[in-house]
Structure 1
């Protein structure tokens, strides 16, 4: 039998953990509502970067969200075989809905679509938005999937990656999440890679899926992993 003092300490720890998480959720909800009510600022100056060739890859830098989203949606629309999308925040606003609709359309056409997003980062997103058609493979990543994970510090990390890989040929990676806010009111940096480096990012996506898939079917291997010191 567990001593009373230990039980009391355990209950105290769990209570503090729940209280902290509840406070964080409340703050996130408040910030989200406050942002919706404030007037949008004017668009900040930005420029369209030229494409550079790096070790056999065409590389383009994006610093303006709307330009990036247009390129990402175009890549999704032109997908023939596979689409891998991974993001930290995916807002259930019109832009988020657009991404979801385009993915569903390609999945209905027979394209293999896999989606990963962080569960904690999207707690303020409506549950209805996070329901996808059965044709889309979805992993809502949670670090605390099992109660005993509370005692494993390695499980406290979030999935903060933002990736889009299409047909193992073109890939996007960087700091932009998915949401209307980031289209015109946010400064970040993203890359589009067209070439063999895209396959390396596809391997990274597959590794994450297979390591965290729980009950979901595994993703099949796609051959040897390329490596480029110029891209790394």
Structure 2
């Protein structure tokens, strides 16, 4: 029987890493088996990216109350194992997870591009953090994704065209109406952004969409700056409640 010491010694000589989900020793941060096992199935509302059980393209909530963005795309469901990885990436300082998570986003967006009504944006904008929040976290998780997703898809990413001018409180657990109230006036387009965004088609990128309040406020800000078309790209989408997008 092979001893534990022998296995450990062998792994030292094997190129690769442990899968962040199943811990299997292999080449990628997320092994192929886990990527296939936990990939999302079904289809989503084209307006808010919520999972749909029927065949409709748009959910009932978005039919009655369309969001400020034209389309939303989510790569993953905010469920096991992705919720744990996203939490570590966002709050646990695991910035190295940006690489495999950005790869999941790029793959999902390439599939979306095969749809006949898909239009590639001209610019990719990460949702900005306030200066205080970025100092606390050490990085903006949306930018860490965007600066990898953008080049992979041939869409330039711009980190300095929008800014967060109000340091809103943490939104976790708040209902949609309260989130929207907190976020009112939270974003602004910079002078460089005003020159570069007018009349253009953009995608805004964030890690997780829950109620969609953050993306809603940023999209509305961009509309007022003259942006023609806004998509919302997110890594993961939570299960939506009756509060809507």
Q: Same fold (TM over 0.5)?
A: no
> What's the TM-score, normalizing by structure 1?
0.30
